[in-house]
Amino acid sequence: MVSLTFLGHACFLIDNGKHRLIIDPFLSGNPLAKVKPSDVQVDFVLLTHGHGDHLGDAIEVAKRCQATIISNFELATFCSGKGVEKTAGLHIGGGADFPFGSLKLTIAHHGSTQGSELGYGGNPVGFIIRTDGKIIYHAGDTGLFLDMKLIGELDKIDVALLPIGGYFTMDVNDAARAVEFLRPQKAIPMHYNTFDPIKADPKVFVNKIKHFGVEGIILQPGHSYNLG
């Protein structure tokens, strides 16, 4: 069984019973996070891009857990320069097999540079994650793009994790259109209500995607959804 736990903002924990993955572990400094970085025990840390609300506590968590950071090449290089022993720096359109299954990087329309220390953080990405026969798409921070149709054609997505907060990413309307393009089994909204500019009502999103026959699941931080 694969369980998906929302840890606030764009952070999710995926557990297939054997391996644990965390995506975008922004926990300290996240007003909605229910978990401390020191509570996290994972084998892999996936990063969609280098912004502070995604890179977050990744380096600390990866070092303590001896976890592998998976991200774009530039960000992986930055993390290994910070003392993370195991990194996998892939790039958009590329993928690889991992003990939990496999993973592929998709495009995301956004930025990835943050401050002078990280400098150029490469291109932002989304992830197609295959584990235990399930397919999860984490869109990262992105605007709406028509290639989501292709992403939905290439893989039968069980759960799509989509930003709905607007301002930096898709808003509720664009995220609903993304669901129309992707045709996932279920969609879970993320990247909203953490900060004032990204206030959004996830119920509006859930109602909109009913038109496409897709069930929206609103997860409160700390709550899980089981993919079966």
Residues that bind Mn ion (CB under 5 A): 53, 141
In eight-state DSSP terms, residue 148 is: H
Pick 15 or 171: Cβ nearer Ni ion: 171
Pick 2 or 118: Cβ nearer Mn ion: 118
Should residue 138 be labelled a site residue for Ni ion when binding is judged by CB under 5 A?
A: no
For the segment 36-75, give every residue that binds Ni ion (CB under 5 A): 51
60 binds, among Mn ion, Ni ion, none (CB under 5 to 8 A by kind): none
Pick 53 or 158: Cβ nearer Mn ion: 53
171 binds, among Ni ion, Mn ion, none (CB under 5 to 8 A by kind): none
Asked whether the CA dihedral 62, 65, 66, 69 is positive or negative, the reply is negative
Q: Which residue has the tokens 């930055």?
A: 78
- Count of residues that bind Ni ion according to CB under 5 A: 2
Residue 138 tokens read as 């984490």
Q: Which residue has the tokens 């943050």?
A: 114
Contact region with Ni ion (CB under 5 A), list: 1-9, 20-28, 130-138, 141-149: 141-149
Chain CA centroid to CA 32, Å: 16
Pick 15 or 141: Cβ nearer Mn ion: 141
As a whole number of Å, the CA-based R_g of the chain is 16
Sequence-distant (≥ 6) Cβ neighbours of residue 94 within 8 angstroms: 104, 105
Pick 10 or 160: Cβ nearer Ni ion: 10
Q: Whose CA is closest to 105, among 177, 46, 61?
A: 46
- From the CB of 89, what's the least distance to Mn ion, in Å? 21
Sequence-distant (≥ 6) Cβ neighbours of residue 101 within 8 angstroms: 16, 129, 130, 131, 132
- From the CB of 181, what's the least distance to Mn ion, in Å? 21
- From the CB of 140, what's the least distance to Mn ion, in Å? 8
For strands 101-107 and 125-131, give the pairing: antiparallel
Among 141, 157, 170, 192, interactor with Ni ion by CB under 5 A: 141
| Site of interaction with Ni ion (CB under 5 A) | 51, 141
